[in-house]
Amino acid sequence: MFQKIFPNIYAFVSENSGSNVFLLIGEKETALIDSGTEGNKQALIESLASLDLKPEDISLVLYTHGHADHFGLDFLFTNAKRAMHKFDAEQINLGNASFACASFFPGTKFPKISILLEPNQEIDLGKIKLKCLHTPGHTEGSICFFEQEKGLLFSGDTVFAEGFGRTDLPSGNATKMAESLKKLQKMGFKGLFPGHGPFLLGQENIDLAP
């Protein structure tokens, strides 16, 4: 079920190989950050229902990167626009299964990404505003979303509560990962909400050393 982080911001922490999913309810958009995989389908539907929402109420899905464990449930959100960094989006729109590591998730349906995110782009959901931080390393097009007012970092697979993302998959790069972690360290965030595992809230000086 969704855990309430702040008013209108919720976290679905996955208990399997699918990604965590974050729900942000703004006046302009009802958005998800990542959508997880088939194994979480029923749990995610029930979690939305607990907040009087249906999958078709989601108007925007923001993807941290183009791996299948993060977009496998995209097909549920029939009314949503999809956004991803332009590098990863190109591979996903081509249905590049190798890039997406789709062999680990048989039957994966590829979304069509219509919004190509740029570094430092602002996403205005209405009161909730996110800044796109380009953080290559896990993939070339990895994006973290930073909610500046409360200092919340939605980090995908760039950094976790204990560790950082692997760099040996297609377009991964260890040097770029180290650079991305240095950039994030300067953001002064107070909450870390990664693509997998537990989140951290209310902690200062989270160590991002590779």
Alpha-carbon distance 131 to 119, whole Å? 8
Alpha-carbon distance 6 to 141, whole Å? 28
CATH number for the domain including 72?
3.60.15.10
The stretches of the chain forming alpha helices (DSSP H) are 41-49, 68-71, 86-93, 97-100, 174-185
- Predicted pLDDT at 203: 61
- Predicted pLDDT at 204: 55
Contacts of 32 (CB under 8 A, 6+ apart): 21, 22, 23, 24, 58, 60, 61, 62, 77, 80
Question: In this structure, are strands 3-6 and 9-12 parallel, antiparallel, or unpaired?
Answer: antiparallel
Determine, yes or no, domain membership for 84.
yes
Query: Bridge-partner residues for 146, per DSSP?
Result: 131, 153
Alpha-carbon distance 13 to 1, whole Å? 8
Alpha-carbon distance 82 to 184, whole Å? 24
3-state SS class at 204? coil
Determine, yes or no, domain membership for 113.
yes
Residue 89 in tokens = 């989006």
- Predicted pLDDT at 140: 98
Determine, yes or no, domain membership for 207.
no
Determine, yes or no, domain membership for 146.
yes
- Predicted pLDDT at 207: 63
Determine, yes or no, domain membership for 206.
no
**What are the respective helix, strand and coil percentages of the chain, to the nearest 5?**
25, 30, 50
- Predicted pLDDT at 91: 98
DSSP string, 125-155: EESEEEEEEE-TTSSTT-EEEEETTTTEEEE
- Predicted pLDDT at 188: 84
User: 165: domain range?
Assistant: 3-201
Each residue's pLDDT expressed in tens, for the chain with a length of 210 residues: 999 999 999 999 999 999 999 999 999 999 999 999 999 999 999 999 999 999 999 999 999 999 999 999 999 999 999 999 999 999 999 999 999 999 999 999 999 999 999 999 999 999 999 999 999 999 999 999 999 999 999 999 999 998 999 999 999 999 999 999 999 998 888 999 999 999 999 765 566 766
Decide if 96 contacts 63 (C-beta within 8 A).
Answer: no
Number of domains the chain contains: 1
Residue 105 in tokens = 């998730």
Q: What does residue 182 show for φ and ψ, rounded to 5 degrees? A: -65, -40
